[in-house]
Amino acid sequence: AMRRAVCPGSYDPATNGHLDIIERASRLFDEVVVAVGVNKNKKGLFEIEERLEILREITAKLPNVRVDSWEGLLVDYCRENDIAAVAKGLRSVSDFDYELQMAQMNRELTGVETLLMANNPVYGFVSSSLVKEIAALGGEIEPFVPPIVFERLSEKFPKLGR
């Protein structure tokens, strides 16, 4: 049987930290679905369509990775798509508290397993929200994001383009 995992997130926008986790998951599973959670109450900087487009581009070199979006409970999405595991990155102790709670709750709900991978320390301090804040204020973000994300952020924040 096909072993399938999901890498869920907001991906607003994707960072090199996300990409590292996606690549590592793709080596462990037959198929990895990178899924963008749609939260109607939380309008991000990037439209869902743009987040998907960026993810498709940066994962194009990974043949067993596909990109999708979902709305509602992650466990329902997993059940509907025959996904046995949620694969995520763990940056810090503060990530851990929240991720452990969600992992336990999701397992209680449907039995879906969660794999928490120790992040690459190079990306330990990288998050979408810090990248957006630094970009908005004209700081250096190129080392933390894939080139297409740098381009898209430069369009939104002309200060970056220089």
ω before 146 within 30° of 0 (cis)? no
What string marks each residue from 13 to 42 as x (binds ligand COD by CB under 6 A) or -? --x-xx--x---------------x-----
For position 44 contacting ligand COD by CB under 6 A, the verdict is no
79 is catalytic: no
Place of tokens 């383009």: 161
Q: Which of 12, 35, 11, 10 is nearest to 85 (CA)?
A: 35
Question: For ligand COD, which stretch binds (CB under 6 A), given 26-34, 59-67, 88-96, 135-143?
Answer: 88-96
42 is catalytic: yes
For position 152 contacting ligand COD by CB under 6 A, the verdict is no
Whether residue 79 contacts residue 73, with contact meaning beta carbons closer than 8 Å, is answered with: no
Alpha-carbon span 127 to 13, nearest angstrom? 9
Q: With H, G, I as helix, E, B as strand and everything else as coil, classify residue 4.
A: strand
Report the Cα–Cα distance between both ends of the chain, in Å, rounded: 51
CA 158 to chain centre: 25
**CB of residue 103 vs ligand COD: minimum separation in angstroms?**
8
**How many chain residues interact with ligand COD (CB under 6 A)?**
22
Which residue spans within 64-150 are E strands per DSSP?
65-71, 85-90, 113-118
Q: Which residues, 109 to 148, sit near ligand COD by CB under 6 A?
A: 119, 123, 126-128
Nearest CB to ligand COD, comparing residues 95 and 162: 95
For position 9 contacting ligand COD by CB under 6 A, the verdict is yes
- Report the interface residues with ligand COD, using CB under 6 A: 8-11, 15, 17-18, 21, 37, 73-74, 88-89, 91, 102, 105-106, 119, 123, 126-128
* Residues recognised as catalytic: 18, 42, 91, 128
